[in-house]
């Protein structure tokens, strides 16, 4: 039995869109920054950009032009830096648009208009949520590295090194994100920026209150003098005590977080399970106006419940 042309065309278009999204992912977003340009490897050969590169560069340029003066549109350079991504906002938005389009076409081919609209909304939301997860992981790792970094910093100063030299030495011993942030402090200071401003930017970029204390302690020491190594030792003890309390709170709230995840995920899982087990039951929700209204109300109630549960399981101390 041959498929009609009307059903073959969207399938071919969907496959092409998926391939285009994967190509943009590997050529723009995941492109390595350590590739040696061809003009350095082969000086006698003129570098020629491929058509795909020209297309993506044109798209990125158009997005940058539209984003001029609008740094907070969905994603900003600061948000990508907090997540540890080296890509530009225009590249991320291009990848988000390509993924949304490919997901919408795939959803339309698999389940019709409802799944196309659902994928069109879920893909950008998923990418933004993944960006938030990366930011949280980077912040947690930075906070875990902070006590050891502070101990190495005080040890280097007691050995006779200056503060900037001690920061430079610490940046060589740690992994990212600590090494990246300390190297940035050293580089900014070498080109004439104030050390206190660079350290304050690091505390804001990483969201680390502990590093803000270190920055304030160093700034106060530069004004009044004294033994900076001893002051940082006391700050390090306070940070270790805070980390211990943070781990205890995390362990005590783990059950509540698991309960919140189950309560939030169970209705969604049951809905999709119902679609696959008996599609006739789900047609009311995916093909009628009352069904759309019920899904909208359910989404609003789940969102409100998720916000409420997040406040209950996120204690402040």
Cα distances (Å, whole numbers) of residue 266 to 174, 208, 254, 258, 302: 41, 34, 18, 12, 11
In a domain, 233, yes or no: yes
Count of the separate structural domains present in the chain:
3
In a domain, 183, yes or no: yes
Verify that 261 and 307 share a domain, yes or no: yes
Which of 204, 236, 251 delimits the end of a domain?
A: 251
User: What band does 2 get if pLDDT is binned at 50, 70 and 90?
Assistant: very low
Q: Which token pair is 216?
A: 């304030």
Please answer whether residues 213 and 238 qualify as being in contact, where contact means their C-beta atoms are separated by less than 8 angstroms: yes
Verify that 192 and 263 share a domain, yes or no: no
Q: Is the pLDDT of residue 3 over 70?
A: no
In a domain, 130, yes or no: no
Better pLDDT: 22 or 108: 108
The 10s digit of each residue's pLDDT in 183-239 is: 999 999 989 888 888 888 998 888 888 898 888 888 888 888 778 888 888 888 888
Q: What is the mean pLDDT of residues 116-142?
A: 87
Residue-level length of the chain: 317
Cα distance between residue 128 and residue 117, in whole Å: 18
Q: Check residue 42 and report its DSSP letter.
A: -
Please answer whether residues 72 and 93 qualify as being in contact, where contact means their C-beta atoms are separated by less than 8 angstroms: no
CATH label of the domain that carries residue 172? 1.20.81.30
Verify that 236 and 287 share a domain, yes or no: no
Which of 216, 231, 251 delimits the end of a domain?
A: 251
Structural domain boundaries enclosing 267: 254-312
Q: Is the pLDDT of residue 159 over 70?
A: yes
Mean pLDDT is lowest, of 77-86, 131-140, 226-235, 274-283, for: 274-283
In a domain, 29, yes or no: yes
Please answer whether residues 106 and 18 qualify as being in contact, where contact means their C-beta atoms are separated by less than 8 angstroms: yes
Verify that 177 and 107 share a domain, yes or no: no
Q: Which token pair is 44?
A: 């006698």
* Helices vs strands, H then E, count in the chain: 14, 0
Verify that 217 and 147 share a domain, yes or no: yes
Exposed, middle or buried by CB within 10 Å (0-12, 13-18, 19+), for 236? Answer: buried
Q: Is the pLDDT of residue 59 over 80?
A: no
Q: Is the pLDDT of residue 37 over 70?
A: no
In a domain, 214, yes or no: yes
In a domain, 126, yes or no: no
Verify that 246 and 142 share a domain, yes or no: yes
Verify that 169 and 236 share a domain, yes or no: yes
Q: How far apart are the first and last CA of the chain?
A: 67
The three-state secondary structure class of 112 is coil
Please answer whether residues 157 and 163 qualify as being in contact, where contact means their C-beta atoms are separated by less than 8 angstroms: yes
């Amino acid at each position: 039995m041959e498929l009609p042309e009307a059903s073959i065309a969207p399938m071919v278009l969907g496959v092409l869109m998926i391939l285009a999204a994967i190509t943009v992912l590997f050529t723009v977003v995941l492109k390595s920054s350590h590739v040696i340009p061809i003009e350095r490897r082969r000086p006698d050969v003129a570098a020629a950009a491929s058509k795909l590169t020209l297309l993506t560069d044109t798209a990125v340029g158009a997005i940058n032009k539209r984003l001029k003066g609008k740094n907070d549109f969905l994603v900003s350079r600061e948000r990508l830096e907090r997540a540890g991504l080296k890509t530009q906002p225009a590249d991320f938005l291009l990848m988000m648009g390509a993924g949304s389009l490919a997901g919408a076409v795939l959803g339309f081919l698999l389940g019709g208009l409802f799944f196309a609209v659902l994928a069109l909304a879920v893909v950008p939301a998923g990418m933004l949520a993944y960006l938030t997860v990366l930011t949280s992981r980077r912040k947690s790792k930075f906070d875990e590295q902070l006590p050891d970094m502070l101990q190495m910093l005080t040890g280097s100063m007691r050995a006779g090194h200056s503060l900037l030299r001690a920061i430079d030495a610490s940046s060589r011993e740690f992994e990212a994100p600590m090494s990246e942030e300390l190297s940035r402090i050293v580089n900014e200071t070498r080109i004439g920026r104030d050390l206190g401003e660079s350290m304050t930017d690091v505390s804001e970029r990483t969201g680390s209150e502990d590093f803000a204390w270190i920055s304030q302690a160093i700034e106060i020491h530069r004004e009044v003098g004294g033994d900076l190594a001893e002051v940082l030792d006391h700050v390090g003890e306070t940070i270790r005590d805070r980390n211990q309390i943070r781990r205890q709170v995390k362990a005590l709230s783990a059950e509540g977080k698991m309960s919140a995840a189950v309560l939030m995920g169970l209705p969604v899982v049951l809905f999709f399970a119902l679609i696959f087990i008996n599609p006739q039951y789900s047609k009311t929700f995916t093909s009628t106006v009352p069904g759309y209204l019920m899904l909208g109300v359910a989404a609003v109630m789940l969102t409100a419940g998720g916000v409420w549960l997040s406040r209950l399981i996120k204690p402040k101390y």
